[in-house]
A = this chain, B = another copy of it.
Amino acid sequence: MEGKGLIQVYTGDGKGKTTASIGQAIRAKGHNFKVCFVYFFKNLQDFTYGEVEILKGLGIEVVNFVPQHPHFYKNIPPEGVREKCLKALESIKEIFEKGYHMLILDEILIALRDKFLKEHEILELLDKKPGALEIILTGRGATKKIIHRADLVTEMKKIKHPFHRGVKERRGIEY
């Protein structure tokens, strides 16, 4: 990536936040940039997300933090989740040192929305971002301050979604 890396935010209740991040990762990789894709709250061990093996196969680093969200894993104590999120922030600071051009933090904003992370903790993380690193935060729950801090923000707004009509999550589409 030439020049200054920006902070992008994809938020909102519509489909397209994670897939847009995947698209960005692919586009950057196509220009031979060094890309790291961090998943929050997705259990890559137990569940097959279509994109993961392709990302890895292209040489994109895939990292999986806090794979279990208590919404889906009812016996997980919330304190443990906060602890894991804080550890993830520390690991991300280490990732900052590894010379990536692009870093995607998928669903990190869910940690904020669900109060596992505090707003100032994410803002402090962003303050430590290396200047040349493009960083993409996704998830519902971007706050005013996060939006203020970001350079580019898209709200993926649900106009229509078939889950309303009883369509279940579909392989190759939602995962």
Where the two chains meet, the residues of A that have a C-beta atom closer than 8 Å to any C-beta of B are 1-3, 6, 8-12, 14-24, 26-31, 33, 48-55, 58, 101-102, 134, 147, 150-162, 165, 167, 170-173, 175
Query: Considering the chains assembled together, what is the distance between the CA atoms of A80 and B2 in angstroms?
Result: 37
Q: Are B157 and A157 closer than 8 Å at their CB atoms? A: yes
- Copies per assembly: 2
Which B residues lie within 8 Å of A22 (CB)? 19, 22-23, 26-27
Q: Are B155 and A151 closer than 8 Å at their CB atoms? A: no
Query: Considering the chains assembled together, what is the distance between the CA atoms of A155 and B33 in angstroms?
Result: 29
Main secondary structure of the interface of A (DSSP, over half): mixed
Q: Indicate whether A173 sits within 8 Å of B24 (C-beta atoms), given known contacts A151-B162, A156-B16.
A: yes
User: Closest approach, in angstroms, between the C-beta of A66 and any C-beta of chain B?
Assistant: 21
Query: Considering the chains assembled together, what is the distance between the CA atoms of A50 and B150 in angstroms?
Result: 24
Query: Considering the chains assembled together, what is the distance between the CA atoms of A120 and B26 in angstroms?
Result: 34
Q: Are A160 and B151 closer than 8 Å at their CB atoms? A: yes
Which B residues lie within 8 Å of A58 (CB)? 54
Which B residues lie within 8 Å of A17 (CB)? 16
Which of B18, B30, B52 is the one whose CB lies under 8 Å from A53?
B30
Which of B3, B51, B161 is the one whose CB lies under 8 Å from A26?
B51
Which B residues lie within 8 Å of A14 (CB)? 154-155
